[in-house]
Amino acid sequence: MTITTFAVFAALAASQPASVPQDADVVDAEALMHRRAQELSTQPARKLAIDLPDPYQSLDYDAYRSIRPDTGRRLWGAEDSFFSAEPLHLGGQYRVPVRLDIWMEEPVEPRLRPIAYEPGLFLFPDGLQPLESGSGFAGWRLLSRDPIVDEPAEFLVFHGASYFRAVGRDHGFGTSARAVALRTADPSGEEFPSITRLSLEEPGSDDRSLTIHALLESESFAGVMSMVATPGEETVMDVVVTLYPRRELKLAGIAPLTSMFLFDKGFDARRFDDFRAAVHDADGLQMITGTGERLWRPLTNPSKLQVSAFADSNPRAFGLMQRNRKFEDFGDTEARYERRPSVWIEPSSEGGGWGKGAVTLVEIPSKTEFNDNVVAFWRPETPLAPDQPHRFAYRVRWSDDAPDGAKLMRVVETATGLAPNTGKRLFVIDFEGTGDEPLDVSGLEVETVASTGGVRQARVEALPGGRACRATLEFEPGDGADVSELSLRLTREGKAASERWMHRWTR
């Protein structure tokens, strides 16, 4: 059975745009995108952003948000449909038109149905005149039926550049993902690819996964991102990104995540006159290396730009995680940061994995929670050569936590300050166990490493309640050292008993 809504399909264009006359002879939506990307990669890059008529060109955040999709005109908006979709309007910072189309489930002609912009798809505030018909869109908002309240709820949004963000059930939007990052934090300046076309494969009435294809365009490459998205308690995406470079891509970021960290009670809180205990969408970078080691790097809001690279071969997983899950961890009744999803990347092992490279963390100084100042991605060791495709497959989970079955203690809190007696820099790292049994700290040893300077007084002790323990160390930088990479791990009989805590100290 095919789910359709007449009100929306009345807005579908009757013919294909002249710029892509070959679309009608392609029988596969993904193949269509790849053919178009390959063609674009052999041509000079085109200007993507357009000049919009006033006042759309200069709409501020609130004015733009006042333009709302008409929920009565949703794609697949019938009462019994599981999925539905709303187009997003151009305006303000969203000035790259995105072509939206649907690949029909049944073999009807044409299989590909482009959606044409018309003012009736939106509700406009008083005084704002709609754009002309055919003006284009800024992206998609995708919804699925929440089984608890039996109402559509948004779970995935494509909006701006190559950004997309999703939530699991009971989450609020937080960390975002992108199709690809280029030259992030490089002095030459970052290049932001854009999604210029989004095709949805029409779902059947019993389908609980939605297939989406995105055409990517940038100065340096063209490409395709295809995904199968499954909403639920956690939203899971199986993603394949294929890049067709015009030139060598030396600083490509694969599976990039973007988040916000302003302060936490253990880090940076003293710099902010704020009633809240913490303000962040994520509090740490979690990794599982190719050899299976578990790493945890708490996020910071540095005084100057920091880039950290964790070299690896065929990484198993990495992500920006929100481990604090209690309201009192933040105390914000509006933002509800404790409901922000953790986002976990699991590279595919097909073709031998992702090879050599580095999980890269970029931390940017910020004075406000409205700036995304944290980026994490995989950077291949070997630049991506032109004139050949480069394919990266991975799974993305938007959930409360990473699905890691390792029985290792994990970090739940990091704090730092001056040691009371010695004046050395003191680090306090709290670990919790994985089970319901009381945590046995007997036999635990503290393993520490400092790239410069020295570590002293490293020890571990049980915390009240019996379910957690605390490791502490004092760090002495030494003369002339401005940076030191610190790590700490709990061991028992020479084997790992915890994930490895990591931190970059700067003077």
- Are residues 324 and 449 located together in one domain of the fold? no
Q: How confident is the model at residue 9 (pLDDT cuts 50, 70, 90)?
A: very low
- Are residues 7 and 32 located together in one domain of the fold? yes
- Are residues 244 and 269 located together in one domain of the fold? no
Is 162 inside a domain boundary? yes
Smallest Cα–Cα separation from 231: which of 78, 372, 82, 371? 82
Beta-carbon contacts of 429 under 8 Å, excluding residues fewer than 6 positions away, are 411, 413, 414, 470, 471, 472, 488, 501
Q: How confident is the model at residue 436 (pLDDT cuts 50, 70, 90)?
A: confident
pLDDT of 53 reads 94
Name the domain count of the chain.
3
- Are residues 9 and 106 located together in one domain of the fold? yes
pLDDT of 495 reads 96
Q: How far is CA 275 from CA 290, 328, 340, in A?
A: 41, 12, 20
Q: Using a pLDDT cut of 90, give the percent of the chain over it.
A: 81
What span, in angstroms and rounded, lies between the C-alpha atoms of 155 and 158?
11
Is 478 inside a domain boundary? yes
Last residue of a domain, one of 197, 217, 248: 248
pLDDT of 406 reads 87
Last residue of a domain, one of 198, 231, 248: 248
Report the DSSP pairing between strands 306-313 and 356-363: antiparallel
- Are residues 41 and 186 located together in one domain of the fold? yes
What span, in angstroms and rounded, lies between the C-alpha atoms of 6 and 115?
13
Is 398 inside a domain boundary? no
Is 388 inside a domain boundary? no
Last residue of a domain, one of 192, 223, 248: 248
Determine the structural domain holding residue 423 and report its residue range.
410-506
Is 460 inside a domain boundary? yes
Convert the pLDDT of each residue in 200-233 to its tens digit.
999 998 999 999 999 999 999 999 999 999 999 9
Examine the pLDDT at 45 and tell me if it is beyond 50: yes
Convert the pLDDT of each residue in 100-125 to its tens digit.
999 987 777 768 899 999 999 999 99
What span, in angstroms and rounded, lies between the C-alpha atoms of 290 and 313?
6
Is 187 inside a domain boundary? yes
- Are residues 143 and 272 located together in one domain of the fold? no
Q: How confident is the model at residue 2 (pLDDT cuts 50, 70, 90)?
A: very low
Take residue 398 and report the two structure tokens written for it. Answer: 């938007």
How many residues are given for the chain?
A: 507
Convert the pLDDT of each residue in 135-174 to its tens digit.
899 999 999 998 888 899 999 999 999 999 999 999 999 9
Examine the pLDDT at 19 and tell me if it is beyond 80: no
- Are residues 309 and 231 located together in one domain of the fold? no
Is 294 inside a domain boundary? yes
CB 469 within 8 A of CB 409: yes
Smallest Cα–Cα separation from 411: which of 500, 299, 322? 500
Examine the pLDDT at 435 and tell me if it is beyond 80: no
What is the average pLDDT score of the chain? 92
Q: How confident is the model at residue 133 (pLDDT cuts 50, 70, 90)?
A: confident
